[in-house]
Amino acid sequence: MSMQSIVNSQKHIWEWYIFRQPVGFLIYIVAAIAEINRVPFDIPEAEQELVAGFNIEYSGMKFAMFFFAEFANLFLVSAIATTLFLGGWNGPLLPSWIWFFIKSFFLVFVIMWFKWTFPRLRVDQLMGFAWKFLLPLAFINLILTGLLA
């Protein structure tokens, strides 16, 4: 999988994969948020019901390392989504790296926006949602894409 050629194949805004693969984008975002344990899937942390989850045991630099990792994950997930779905560094006028950061930080903002808005799912709800809904949907999406392409 060459990420460069993926980005190069979405030079114009109508070629972005978010418009060609909207279902894939939604599945990716949901799975990414669940993977980096952010709201609404932050079951191990559960800030509002447990005091702060497992990381209440840590303080100082150890605590900071957990949160550095968490926010690094957040940015990483957004950067991957930018590369795969939002046309990577392609954009008019501004230099390419600025475009990449604008798109990535917009996605970071959107994920933080989810955090203000959505209530947390229970463990069984998340498992049922991921296995019974997202996975079949991803397969159907894959098959349809293979048939159409």
Q: Give residues in contact with other proteins (CB under 8 A).
A: 113-114, 116-118
- Angle at CA of residue 112, ends 106 and 117, nearest 5°: 125
| Dihedral class, residue 53 (left if φ above 0, else alpha if ψ from -120 to 50, else beta) | left
State which residue, 63 or 114, has the beta carbon closest to other proteins: 114
Q: How far, in Å, CA of 70 to CA of 129, rounded? A: 23
| Between 46 and 134, CB nearer to other proteins | 134
Nearer to other proteins, 6 or 130 (CB): 130
Kindly state the helix (H) or strand (E) to which residue 77 belongs, with its residue range: helix 60-85
